[in-house]
Structure 1
Amino acid sequence: MRILFAEDKATSARLLLPTLKKAGLSVDLARSGRNTIEMLRNYDYGIAVIDLHLPDMDGYTVVNSLRLLKISTPVIILSSLDQPEAKIRAFSMGADDYLTKPFDPAELVARIQAILRRSSGFAHPVIQVAELKLDLNSHTVMVHDQPVHLTCKEFSILELLVLRKGMAQSKETFLNHLYGGRDEPDIKIIDVFICKLRKKLQAAGASDHLISTVWGKGYILNDPKTKMFSLPSGPEIPLRAPIPEQQFQAAGD
């Protein structure tokens, strides 16, 4: 899952990268409040982790601006302030969580994973769709209780499909999810990833219609109990967003 980290001290962000990478998270870095808002307007992130003290505006203003713009991306505020008033203000502005410095990186990861699950309507890290089981914490996939070995990018695609089950995801969304506007290959690579993913899942006994093609939209993960048919894909016009100031890729293939 791709997340945005708003922190003007690059060193602080880099210290967290190994833990975030191990958890299967890809991180883009924003150095200012203005850059944070712009990136969240143009890119699809699972969550934003925002330091309370940014050089051009505080985290309260950033969160409030996001909510006024109808941007509903979950937000975790990081701050050295441990006063109840600071936390109450953050929550009243629209923050979803508040973590006091110093903190254990593993705790941040646990909070991120919990919010990602809740925002997608799941309370448990193990998500089951028919015969498919996906563990968001251990990054394991099972079909009929047998493990399916996926590459990092294949898992990222399946994770996005599972968390947004029933909603068609465009190829552009997958491309942004995997590469974040940085060194992106041709958009047809998504068809290749989906094809390989389908073959691995079907070889393990998953339904042929677990992942369906939606013409002009992309791909969708559906429950085979609901009868759905794959349709031939048509041409898509990719929409490009500006490349962010700086990005850190914390998960790769």
Structure 2
Amino acid sequence: MRILITETSWIMATIAKLMRDEGFLVSEAADAEDVLTHVAQCQYDAVLFDPDLPDMDGSDLIRRLRSRAPQLPILLFSREVSHRDRLRGLAIGADDVIAWPFDGAEIAARVRAFARRARGFASSTPEFCGLRIDFDRRRVSFAGHSIHLTRLEYELVETLALANGRLLGREALITRLYGWEDEPDWKILDVYICRIRAKLATLDAPAQLIATSFGQGYRINLLADALVAA
């Protein structure tokens, strides 16, 4: 999952490290306007920020984010959070308001839960024609057999799974996997898809389980009949 974190305080820097350690792909924004720019250019699974921003009131940022991405999970972090602060944060549209100190594993679990529910998944282990994704444990299996994937291979499968059958373009996938730093040639996606399909093939998974729309992108095929026909 790719999340966006503001780099406006030592608390947020700590969270960025914790989230990377928990396996998230983390992009960092310098201020509120930078957050809005990032969200306009890439689809994130969650945004985490300290409401004490240098260029905008936190409540204003939440309102602007909600107008652009109504389902986007938003979590606020602060060194001191009163009961009133928490109620106000939830009232203006935040999904959670968290005070320092906090447990990194718990925050990671909350972010994953918010993210999957925002995409319509009640379960943390959805299944697509035999392909099971365990969002919490970051594991993939087919017909009950575990599949060893590299970090980026897993992120690619997870991203396609969260799209729930929707076609994802190459540019969107590259941005999700790499952010804006050292973006590789788009053909690298073909390499990753081939590797994933090869690993699935060893378990007799249908070749079109991950379908290609030539010149456009990829999607997970949710139609069992289409897999049989292929």
TM-score by length of 2: 0.91
Partner letter of residue 25 of structure 2?
A: S
Alpha-carbon contact 1:50-1:77 (below 8 Å) kept: yes
Separation in structure 1 between the aligned mates of residue 141 and residue 70 of structure 2, nearest angstrom: 34
**Aligned partner of residue 227 in structure 1, secondary structure:** helix
Deviation, structure 1 residue 136:
0.9
Aligned match of 2:173: 174
**2:207 pairs with 1:208:** yes
Deviation, structure 1 residue 62:
0.8
Larger deviation, residues 77-86 vs 125-134: 77-86
Aligned match of 1:185: 184
**Aligned partner of residue 134 in structure 1, secondary structure:** strand
Aligned match of 1:107: 106
Separation in structure 1 between the aligned mates of residue 67 and residue 30 of structure 2, nearest angstrom: 21
Partner letter of residue 6 of structure 2?
A: A
Aligned match of 1:92: 91
Separation in structure 1 between the aligned mates of residue 81 and residue 97 of structure 2, nearest angstrom: 10
Aligned match of 1:125: 124
Aligned match of 2:3: 3
Deviation, structure 1 residue 176:
0.5
Name the Cα RMSD after superposition: 2.1
Structure 1 residues 79, 226: closer, same or farther in 2, change over 3 A? farther
Aligned match of 1:83: 82
- For residues 49-75 of structure 1, what are the alpha-carbon distances to aligned partners after superposition, in whole Å with 9 as ceiling and x for unaligned? 011111122321111122234564221
Runs of 5+ consecutive residues of structure 2 not aligned to the other structure: none
Separation in structure 1 between the aligned mates of residue 128 and residue 107 of structure 2, nearest angstrom: 27
Separation in structure 2 between the aligned mates of residue 226 and residue 112 of structure 1, nearest angstrom: 34
Deviation, structure 1 residue 22:
3.3
Structure 1 residues 25, 142: closer, same or farther in 2, change over 3 A? same
- For residues 158-193 of structure 1, what are the alpha-carbon distances to aligned partners after superposition, in whole Å with 9 as ceiling and x for unaligned? 001111121000011110011101101111111111
Alpha-carbon contact 2:206-2:227 (below 8 Å) kept: no
Separation in structure 1 between the aligned mates of residue 202 and residue 208 of structure 2, nearest angstrom: 13
Aligned match of 1:222: 221
Alpha-carbon contact 1:209-1:230 (below 8 Å) kept: no
- For residues 100-134 of structure 1, what are the alpha-carbon distances to aligned partners after superposition, in whole Å with 9 as ceiling and x for unaligned? 22211222111101101111211222121121111
Aligned match of 1:238: none
Alpha-carbon contact 1:63-1:95 (below 8 Å) kept: yes
**Aligned partner of residue 136 in structure 2, secondary structure:** coil
Aligned residues: 230
**Aligned partner of residue 78 in structure 1, secondary structure:** strand
Alpha-carbon contact 1:7-1:54 (below 8 Å) kept: no
Partner letter of residue 167 of structure 2?
A: A
Structure 1 residues 225, 192: closer, same or farther in 2, change over 3 A? same
Aligned match of 1:36: 35
Separation in structure 2 between the aligned mates of residue 114 and residue 217 of structure 1, nearest angstrom: 30
Partner letter of residue 28 of structure 1?
A: S
Structure 1 residues 97, 206: closer, same or farther in 2, change over 3 A? same
Deviation, structure 1 residue 17:
4.1
Aligned match of 1:25: 24
Partner letter of residue 91 of structure 1?
A: L
Aligned match of 1:46: 45
Alpha-carbon contact 1:211-1:219 (below 8 Å) kept: yes
**Aligned partner of residue 138 in structure 1, secondary structure:** coil
Deviation, structure 1 residue 14:
3.6
